[in-house]
Amino acid sequence: MSTNDIATEHEALLRSQIEAAGKTSEVAPQLLELAVRTWTTWQNAQTLLETEGIVLTTAHGSVAHPAAQIARQSCATYTQLLGRMGLSATPTARAYKANRPVTLAPVTSISELMARKPARVARPS
């Protein structure tokens, strides 16, 4: 799957989450575009880290891979953008009862988690 296809798929996912949250008229298209670009940068940096490792060996010794900082900053920026769109990367206390922990199916990567389709959750009374 190409980077453009993945970005388009993630944009569709964000649009559906925005719609489900009832925020469609409140989210500027530029904000959505920026979120998708930031998420794509984050995923590209993660892929690079998985391929090359988090430490590079140079003539001056071992150094942290530059993609580690890019991934960290992109993750933080993406989380902030989600907040500005009225979304959250984590469940809120009002959406889930405090005495009932949230159980998610296991995932192998953050991209797999973010690619999940939103689903209605039956809330216990």
- Name beta bridge partners: 61: 58
Mean pLDDT of 50-72: 94
Map 7-30 to HEC letters: HHHHHHHHHHHHHHCCCHHHCCHH
Domain assignment present for residue 96? The answer is yes
Mean pLDDT of 35-64: 94
3-state secondary structure of 77: helix
- Single pTM value for the model: 0.68
Higher pLDDT, 101 or 46: 46
Domain assignment present for residue 22? The answer is yes
Domain assignment present for residue 120? The answer is no
Higher pLDDT, 32 or 113: 32
Residue-level pLDDT at 93:
52
Residue-level pLDDT at 96:
46
Domain assignment present for residue 99? The answer is yes
The number of folded domains in the chain is 1
Residue-level pLDDT at 108:
74
Domain that holds residue 54: 3-114
Give 84-111 pLDDT, tens digit per residue.
Answer: 998 877 655 555 444 455 566 677 777 7
Domain assignment present for residue 88? The answer is yes
Domain assignment present for residue 122? The answer is no
Confidence of residue 41 (pLDDT cuts 50, 70, 90): very high
Give the DSSP letter string of 28-72: -HHHHHHHHHHHHHHHHHHHHHHHH-SEEEETTEEEE-HHHHHHH
Mean pLDDT of 79-88: 89
